[in-house]
Amino acid sequence: MKTIYAMLFCAALTANVFAADDPSIKGEVRAQLNEAMLAHVEATTVDGDYLIYDVATGNLKNLEFKALHKGVVKKGLFYVSCADFVDAEGRKYDLDFLVAGKGEKLRVLQALVHSVDGEKRPYHLESNK
């Protein structure tokens, strides 16, 4: 019985380690995903601020872009990757970008606030396909 618990524990750890990055997504696809996310940030930046509506607080947030994360995963129809931003008060925002399409037609369809100052906000992506 202890062996079964140990195996389940190790499996859970392994799942978490790879939850933030799928190593099978590489090369040109990964580069195109980064290009799509950077294009999205540029297109939705106004007077130096990235604008996003924060559904948890009901406020429009003006954020400063800092960096894309390296990890990418596939969730249903979307590729999901993150980026770091900060607000005027210095709070750190981790936004998840939902990217869809193929090749050069990849584009961000939605951005979601994943965490603020390290406090995660759960959401669930479910595909109907």
Spatial CA neighbour of 120 closest among 16, 12, 9: 16
User: What pTM does this model have?
Assistant: 0.77
Q: Where are the domains of the chain?
A: 26-120
Please report, rounded to a whole number, the percentage of residues in the chain having pLDDT higher than 70. Answer: 81
Tell me the CA distances in angstroms from 72 to 25, 26, 83, 115, 119, one per residue in order: 7, 9, 11, 17, 20
Q: How confident is the model at residue 125 (pLDDT cuts 50, 70, 90)?
A: low
Please report, rounded to a whole number, the percentage of residues in the chain having pLDDT higher than 90. Answer: 61
Taking only the tens place, the pLDDT of each residue in 62-106 is 999 999 998 899 988 899 999 999 999 999 999 999 999 987 799
Which CATH number is 26-120 given?
Answer: 3.10.450
Type and span of the H or E element at 85 = strand 78-86
Least confident stretch, 10-14, 24-28, 66-70, 81-85: 10-14
pLDDT higher than threshold 60 for residue 113? yes
